[in-house]
Amino acid sequence: MLVENCRQFLNTLAFTNRVILRWVPGHKGIIGNEKADELAKTGALQKQIGPEPVCGKPKSLAQLTLQTYCNYHTLIPWRQVPGMNHSRVLIRPFNKRAASEALALNRKNLCILVQAFTGHCGLNRHMFNLKL
**In the prediction, which pLDDT does 2 show?**
75
Surface-to-core class of residue 11, CB atoms within 10 Å of its CB (0-12 exposed, 13-18 middle, 19+ buried)? exposed
Q: Which whole number is the average pLDDT over 68-73?
A: 80
88 contacts 57 by C-beta, under 8 angstroms: no
pLDDT in tens, 97-112: 888 888 899 988 988 8
**In the prediction, which pLDDT does 54 show?**
65
**In the prediction, which pLDDT does 89 show?**
72
117 contacts 90 by C-beta, under 8 angstroms: yes
pTM reported for the whole predicted model: 0.37
**In the prediction, which pLDDT does 62 show?**
81
